[in-house]
C-alpha cells in the first residue's frame, strides 16, 4: 500500500450487492410513490436565505456602523461564525454534491457560497466528494481523517507520538482554528497536493484553479478584513480578534458535527490488502465507517441533516431534507440484511464518544470495534 494511493478497489459480492440494490429500489419507490423529487424544494430556498442572512445581515449591520459599540460588534462576529457554519452545512454541502437542484447551474453557483466565506468549492469537492465519500476512514486515502498537523491522530493506523496522549484535551483548539487554517493555507496546499497526486490534471486546469483561488481569496479578505479595518472606528487588533473568534465558532461547530460521524468507537478504519483491494463492497464500507446521532429537529435543520450521516454517505445525491424519511427505509433494510446501522442517542453522546476515541487513539490502545 502506497502512502498516497487513492485508487483502492471495492469488491462486488453478490449478497452485499443485493442489499444495496434492494435499498436503492425502495428509496426510488418512496420518491415515485410520493411523487416528489430527490432534490431540494422550497425548504432549501428558505434555508439558503436564512443562512446567508445569518452571515451577511450581521456583517452589514457592523460595516454600515448600525452597530458600533465594541460589545455588539464582537457579538456580530460570533453570530457570523454560526452563519458561516450554516452556509457550509446547509447550503453549499448539498449544492456541491449536486443534490440541491436538478439544474446544474443552480448547484454550481450555490456551491460557490463556500467561496463567499473563504473556502474554495473546487478543492472541497476533491477532498470531500472524491476522497472522503469514496474511501471513508481509509488511512492515506481519506483526507478528512488527515489532520493538518501531526499533533492529532484520528486513525489507529496513523503514526503514534507521545504528544497524542493529550490530544483529547487540546483537540478543541485545533478544531477551533480549522477553518482559519483552511482559508489561509489549506486550499493552496491541497491544490498542489492534488496536482501531484493526479487529482487535478493538466497545466491548463491547474492554472485556472490557481487564478480562481487567488481571486476568491483576495475578494474574501478584502471584504472580511480590509473593509472593516478601513471603515470601523476600532483598532486593527479588535477586528482581527473578531475575525479569529468568528472562525473559532465555525471551526468548532463543523468539526464536532463531522468528526462525530466517523471518528467514534462505533466506526471502523479498514485497510486494503496488499493488492489495494478493500474487504467489503462500497455500500457496506459506508455502513461500517459511519454513524448517525439523534438530535432535536431545529438542530438537525441547522446542521443540514448531517445527523443522518449514514443516509448521506449512501445517497449523497439526495437532498438532506429527505433524510429523516428515508432513514426509516435504510434502518429497516439494514436490519433485514443483518448489517450494522450505527446511531448514537444524542449529539452530546456522539461528542463524548468522539473524545473517548481520541483519548484511546492518543494512548495507542488496541481498539475493539463494534
Residue spans of the domains in the chain: they are 14-363
Question: How far is the C-alpha of 311 from the C-alpha of 329, rounded, in Å?
Answer: 10
What is the Cα 133 distance to its own chain's centre? 10
pTM: 0.93
What is the model's pLDDT at position 15?
Answer: 77
Residue 1 pLDDT: 38
pLDDT in tens, 11-20: 888 778 899 9
**Nearest-angstrom CA–CA distance, 297 and 273:** 42
Task: Using a pLDDT cut of 90, give the percent of the chain over it.
Answer: 91
| Residue 6: per-residue pLDDT | 56
For the residues 73-97, what does the mean pLDDT come to?
98
- Confidence check: pLDDT of 3 > 70: no
The predicted-structure confidence for 118-131, as pLDDT tens digits, reads as follows: 999 999 999 999 99
pLDDT in tens, 222-250: 999 999 999 999 999 999 999 999 999 99
Query: How far, in Å, are 120, 230, 341 from residue 113 at the CA level?
Result: 9, 25, 32
Total count of residues recorded for the chain: 370
Average pLDDT over residues 318-326: 98
Residue 364 in this model has a pLDDT that exceeds 80: yes
The predicted structure's pLDDT at residue 357: 97
259-270 mean pLDDT: 96
Look at residue 136 in the predicted model and tell me its pLDDT.
97
Q: Mean of the per-residue pLDDT values for the chain?
A: 94
The sign of the torsion formed by the CA atoms of 306, 307, 311, 314 equals positive
> Residue 149 has what pLDDT?
75
Please state the rounded mean pLDDT for residues 265-281.
94
Mean pLDDT, residues 154-171 taken together = 95
Dump pLDDT digits (tens) for 213-223.
999 999 999 99
Positive or negative, the Cα torsion across 186, 192, 196, 201? positive
Q: Residue 370: is its pLDDT beyond 50?
A: no
pLDDT at 91: 98
pLDDT confidence bin for 2, thresholds 50/70/90: very low
Question: Is the pLDDT assigned to residue 197 strictly greater than 60?
Answer: yes
Q: At what angle do helices 347-363 and 167-176 cross, to 10 degrees?
A: 120
- Is the predicted pLDDT of residue 97 greater than 50, yes or no? yes
Model confidence at 368, pLDDT cuts 50, 70, 90, reads: low
Amino acid at each position: 500500500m502506497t502512502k498516497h494511493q487513492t485508487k483502492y478497489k471495492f469488491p462486488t459480492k453478490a449478497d452485499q450487492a443485493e442489499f444495496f440494490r434492494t435499498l436503492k429500489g425502495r428509496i426510488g419507490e418512496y420518491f415515485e410513490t410520493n411523487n416528489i423529487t430527490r432534490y431540494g424544494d422550497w425548504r432549501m430556498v428558505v434555508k439558503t436565505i436564512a443562512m446567508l442572512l445569518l452571515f451577511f445581515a450581521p456583517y452589514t449591520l457592523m460595516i454600515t456602523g448600525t452597530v458600533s459599540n465594541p460589545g455588539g460588534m464582537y457579538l456580530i462576529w460570533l453570530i457570523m461564525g454560526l452563519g458561516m457554519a450554516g452556509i457550509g452545512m446547509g447550503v453549499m454541502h448539498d449544492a456541491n454534491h449536486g443534490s440541491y437542484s436538478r439544474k446544474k447551474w443552480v448547484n454550481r453557483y450555490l456551491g460557490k457560497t463556500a467561496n463567499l466565506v473563504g473556502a474554495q468549492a473546487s478543492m472541497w469537492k476533491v477532498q470531500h466528494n472524491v476522497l472522503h465519500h469514496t474511501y471513508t476512514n481509509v488511512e492515506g486515502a481519506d483526507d478528512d481523517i488527515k489532520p493538518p498537523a501531526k499533533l492529532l491522530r484520528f486513525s489507529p493506523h496513523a503514526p503514534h507520538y507521545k504528544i497524542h496522549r493529550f490530544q483529547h484535551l487540546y483537540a478543541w483548539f485545533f478544531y477551533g482554528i480549522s477553518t482559519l487554517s483552511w482559508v489561509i493555507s489549506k486550499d493552496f496546499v491541497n491544490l498542489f497536493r492534488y496536482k501531484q497526486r493526479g487529482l487535478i490534471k493538466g497545466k491548463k486546469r491547474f492554472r485556472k484553479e490557481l487564478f480562481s483561488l487567488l481571486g476568491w481569496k483576495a475578494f474574501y479578505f478584502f471584504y472580511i478584513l480590509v473593509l472593516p479595518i478601513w471603515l470601523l472606528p476600532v483598532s486593527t487588533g479588535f477586528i482581527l480578534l473578531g475575525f479569529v473568534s468568528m472562525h473559532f465558532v465555525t471551526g468548532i461547530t463543523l468539526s464536532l458535527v463531522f468528526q462525530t460521524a466517523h471518528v467514534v468507537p462505533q466506526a471502523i478504519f479498514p485497510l486494503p490488502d496488499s493488492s489495494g483491494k478493500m474487504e467489503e463492497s462500497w455500500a457496506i464500507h459506508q455502513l461500517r465507517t459511519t454513524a448517525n446521532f439523534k438530535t432535536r429537529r431545529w438542530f438537525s435543520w441547522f446542521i443540514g441533516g448531517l445527523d443522518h450521516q449514514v443516509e448521506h454517505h449512501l445517497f449523497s445525491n439526495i437532498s438532506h431534507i429527505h433524510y429523516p424519511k428515508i432513514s426509516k427505509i435504510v434502518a429497516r433494510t439494514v436490519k433485514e440484511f443483518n448489517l450494522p446501522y450505527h446511531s448514537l442517542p444524542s449529539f452530546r453522546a456522539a461528542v463524548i464518544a468522539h473524545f473517548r476515541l481520541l483519548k484511546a487513539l492518543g494512548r495507542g490502545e488496541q481498539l475493539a470495534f463494534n
